[in-house]
Amino acid sequence: MAVSVEKILSQIGDDVKVIPGHGALSDKAGLRAFLDMLKGTTAAVESAIKAGKTLDQIKQDRVLAPWDSWGKGFITTDRFIETLYTDLHGGVVTTSTAHH
């Protein structure tokens, strides 16, 4: 998704209004902030996975706390962690705290 957002950002002018699928009307700066959130949250979950954390541990560790303000809509922070974890972990969800 980040690649698509980067492509859009490179093609729109600074005065363009962005109408998101959810949320309020935005602009190029808002779309850039969204991209920054995507990159930051993906890196945080990826780092936790590389450290051997399970999905449950990542949620408990609140690795996305810096982006909690983004998780106030229908996609909660925990739900977004699940999405990122599944994408980054090749569709395999490890919820047990036992070593694998």
Among 19-23, 54-58, 66-70, the range of highest mean pLDDT = 54-58
DSSP states of 27-75: EHHHHHHHHHHHHHHHHHHHHHHHTT--HHHHHHTTTTGGGGGGGGSSS
Check residue 95 and give its pLDDT: 62
Interval 11-51: pLDDT, tens: 999 999 999 887 889 999 999 999 999 999 999 999 999 99
Q: How many residues does the chain have?
A: 100
Query: What contacts 92, CB < 8 A, 6 or more positions away?
Result: 86
Strand partners, 3: none
Interval 19-28: pLDDT, tens: 988 788 999 9
- Between CA 85 and CA 93, with CA 90 as vertex, the angle to 5 degrees is 50
